[in-house]
Structure 1
Amino acid sequence: MTSTPYLPPDRILEVRDAALQAGLADPSVRPLLFENIMPAYRGTLPLVPAPGRQLHSDLNEMNRVERLVDTRVPLEIWLRNAIAQTSEAAPLAVFQRALDDVVRDSSGEPDVLTGLDLPEVKEQQVNRDDTVPFGFLRDGDRAGAAVARVTVPPYEGGAPLQPNGSPHSGTGWLITPDLLVTNHHVVNARTGGSAAAAPDDLLLQARHARARFDYDTDADGEAEDAAVALLVAADPDLDYAVLRLAEAPSRPVLRVARRPLTVVSDNPVAVNIIQHPSGLPKRVALRNNVVYEADERDLRYFTDTRGGSSGSPVLTDDWRVVALHRGTKWVGNASFQGRTETFVNVGTQLAAVLGHLAATSPAVHAEIEAAQQE
């Protein structure tokens, strides 16, 4: 599906030059850069005899494709693969900046740093015990069973959006046996800069959304999706949506924190994120996501990799959800643990989501409270 390009021409040239600098124009590397991109799509790309021109052609072609029928964004996957194949700092920074822009635009993520002054953070590790009980792994496996990949097809005017009708993807998790939490912008199913879905189209998109549990490896890709019955609550400002599944899957629910997480100065809190980045099989970021700032509404945390898919649960070491991950941005002006190339993530405090539900959807809030007490 073609759409407005993700990156302007000068940024594509910048990525091309970085790839040339990193040695990624070598024809033997090209298959590695297209790993996890649909073979049927790869076969449609023009072949050019000169390696540098081939690289430029590939980038231009992918830049015009919003997403493929498998919900994945080819340029995003290519950039992730380029990062995996690169060790030099300068081209790596170019790829990471481009990846951040493409991911945020393709998912409709809000810019999480708008209006924020980013502080410098240097975590003190001396005399800090960073070990966890062995049961942490067992409980984490159980928590992961409640997390699903969510796909949402866009609608406009009551009909599937054409020509860009491929589903958008994110992450969701069970807060009751049949209520799934994700981001509002996941259900909105629009790329950055597009107008928000009309209210009736938003409801249609929710009813046609699907949740795939136990999608842990590529071999699980053919697993049956759970159908969504309706959207029961949502708020674009806090960026949450609550979906009711047509049938309750037989699996545990995630426990949630009812009070906002607070951060004591000079004592950052490590959190864990279970996610389906880019619609790919489930991954987990363990304890290398450090919360450096918190208020009643938001958590802000650093990590040296992308934090994960929109809608992921942000969990403390007891696997209790403290926030709903809603956005990630690569920044080059922050220092964390001796690194200056890092990501800043933002999540909405679950206490803020529950408070909003109590005020605006009391029946849904009561249902969640009852399920959390079982």
Structure 2
Amino acid sequence: MKGLPSDLNQRCFNLFLDCEYFDSFETLRSFCESFQELTALSRQLKKADSKWDLVDRNLSTISNNYHDIYNWILPIFIEKLQERYKIRQDPLWRKFQNLHSEIINLSIVETSPQSDLKPEANPKGEPFYYLAADEKVLNSARAVARVSTLRNSNKSPDKVLTETGTAWLVTPNLVLTCRHVIESVYPQWECNRFHDCDVDIKEEIQNKIKKNVVLTFNYKQPSQGIEYGVEQLEDDNIDLDYAVLRLCDRKDHPLKNMGFLQLDINAPLTSQLKLHVIQHPKGQPQQRSVGDFVKYASNNKQILHNAPTEGGTSGAPVLNLTNCQVVALHIGENENKALRTATLISAILSDMEQNNSTLYQEILAVQSTHQH
């Protein structure tokens, strides 16, 4: 359909002049951005010095735009205005309702997808990703494992429960995960740091972890994967909720073949930072989700992000989507904010440098001389 009949065009113009959402360019754009169907339109709106000019410049933009090949944007736009005014019981809603009906009838009679409608290739402005980025993700996924832990039930001591989490290689034989993922195997673990525990407690914790913790790499579908045991717990911190485990290698499947993830401690944490989380949600085969950095947590050592996660994701790497390097360690849900929480890698390394310099130097040496 090529534009509007002159009488309908004039009625739209007059009604838009009476509409408060045309009071300024910012108000109009904000209104459009509040509806998914109008997001693409919001990026095509034109600025003007007066309300009259704003209506004049944008009426044709609205009336000649399409949400997709089958949906003319003008009736959608007017319907959204009608809904806003109806909620407030403003008399304008009746005028918008009548106008909407006429335009809908007009579009049914005079438009067809094959003739006049121009298909919108990307009406919602969704991002595109290069296939090379997928290759990076697949390479990174090789270094991510499911963590399975066994423990006795508090209610039924004879019953053994299996719990899961996620871990990832930071060197060819060291993995990072959450402390709460592995501490369930030894409920009496009351030290803030493993190294602060009494000698006999430390020995029992090590034995429990060796006996009850298994990591499965290459778990991409059921009945698949390579399992590795734990040689020992190297470090942990209850406040930052991280743990470093040294794995037992296998001659038939050397850990070095898995590679390891690079760390991005200087990534600019802004609202433009896209993140993805490689994880084993609910103990399932490997998956990933994409989200955004939202803000720093109150302690500035953790961040809040909105990538979807489930139980079993704890310990997963939160990667910068651009370079597939790790910026944080996912630790769980922040229910008050309805967001996810992750500990910054920079905070973990800083803590390790102060309290376990030998391990810190080992990780740093590998990170600085090797690439995944």
Q: Matches of 1:319 and 1:330 in 2, distance apart?
A: 27
The aligned amino acid for 2:324 is W
Deviations 1:269-303 (CA, angstroms, capped at 9, x unpaired): 22000001121111111x3x111102640110124
Correspondence for 1:284: 288
TM-score relative to the length of structure 2: 0.55
The alignment yields a C-alpha RMSD, in angstroms, of 2.9
Correspondence for 1:151: 148
1:8-23 correspondence runs (5 A): none
- Secondary structure, aligned partner of 1:189: helix
Correspondence for 1:135: 132
Q: Flag the 1:305–1:277 CA change in 2: closer, same or farther, 3 A.
A: closer
Match of 1:322 among 321, 327, 351: 327
- Secondary structure, aligned partner of 1:187: helix
Identity of aligned residues (%): 25
Assess if the C-alpha contact under 8 Å between 2:176 and 2:244 holds in 1.
Answer: yes
C-alpha displacement of 1:164: 4.1
Q: Matches of 2:157 and 2:150 in 1, distance apart?
A: 11
- Secondary structure, aligned partner of 1:176: coil
Correspondence for 1:162: 157
1:249-260 correspondence runs (5 A): 249=255, 250-259=257-266
Q: Matches of 1:217 and 1:329 in 2, distance apart?
A: 30
Correspondence for 2:80: none
Q: Matches of 1:348 and 1:305 in 2, distance apart?
A: 15
Q: Flag the 1:304–1:183 CA change in 2: closer, same or farther, 3 A.
A: closer
Q: Flag the 1:251–1:305 CA change in 2: closer, same or farther, 3 A.
A: closer
1:89-104 correspondence runs (5 A): none
Correspondence for 2:358: 363
Match of 1:263 among 259, 269, 285: 269
Q: Matches of 2:158 and 2:282 in 1, distance apart?
A: 21
Q: Matches of 1:234 and 1:155 in 2, distance apart?
A: 23
Correspondence for 1:353: 348
Deviations 1:302-355 (CA, angstroms, capped at 9, x unpaired): 245648611000001111000000002556xx7xxxxxxxx4100000000011
Q: Matches of 1:195 and 1:183 in 2, distance apart?
A: 17
Assess if the C-alpha contact under 8 Å between 1:152 and 1:205 holds in 2.
Answer: no
- Secondary structure, aligned partner of 1:204: helix
Larger Rg: 2
**2:208 paired with 1:202:** no
Structure 2 runs not aligned, ≥5 long = 1-122, 191-200
Assess if the C-alpha contact under 8 Å between 1:216 and 1:281 holds in 2.
Answer: yes
Q: Matches of 2:185 and 2:229 in 1, distance apart?
A: 21
Match of 1:174 among 149, 169, 173: 169
Q: Matches of 2:207 and 2:223 in 1, distance apart?
A: 30
Q: Matches of 1:306 and 1:149 in 2, distance apart?
A: 13
- Secondary structure, aligned partner of 2:258: coil
C-alpha displacement of 1:131: 2.8
Q: Matches of 1:164 and 1:271 in 2, distance apart?
A: 39
Q: Matches of 1:153 and 1:268 in 2, distance apart?
A: 40
Q: Matches of 1:294 and 1:268 in 2, distance apart?
A: 14
* Dislocated runs of 4+, deviation >6 Å: 126-129
Deviations 1:235-268 (CA, angstroms, capped at 9, x unpaired): 1110000000111512210001233x5434xx34
Q: Matches of 2:189 and 2:358 in 1, distance apart?
A: 27
Q: Matches of 1:232 and 1:127 in 2, distance apart?
A: 48
Deviations 1:25-60 (CA, angstroms, capped at 9, x unpaired): xxxxxxxxxxxxxxxxxxxxxxxxxxxxxxxxxxxx
- Secondary structure, aligned partner of 1:281: coil
Deviations 1:194-235 (CA, angstroms, capped at 9, x unpaired): 664664443223222211000101131xx4411110001111
- Secondary structure, aligned partner of 2:171: coil
Assess if the C-alpha contact under 8 Å between 1:326 and 1:347 holds in 2.
Answer: yes
1:198-277 correspondence runs (5 A): 199-208=202-211, 209-220=213-224, 223-247=225-249, 249=255, 250-259=257-266, 261-264=267-270, 267-277=271-281
Correspondence for 1:184: 179
Assess if the C-alpha contact under 8 Å between 2:145 and 2:215 holds in 1.
Answer: yes
Correspondence for 1:310: 314
Q: Flag the 1:215–1:304 CA change in 2: closer, same or farther, 3 A.
A: closer
Structure 1 runs not aligned, ≥5 long = 1-125, 335-342
1:65-80 correspondence runs (5 A): none
Assess if the C-alpha contact under 8 Å between 1:276 and 1:308 holds in 2.
Answer: yes
The number of residue pairs the alignment matches comes to: 227
Q: Flag the 1:256–1:155 CA change in 2: closer, same or farther, 3 A.
A: farther
**Bigger share in helix:** 2
The aligned amino acid for 2:230 is V
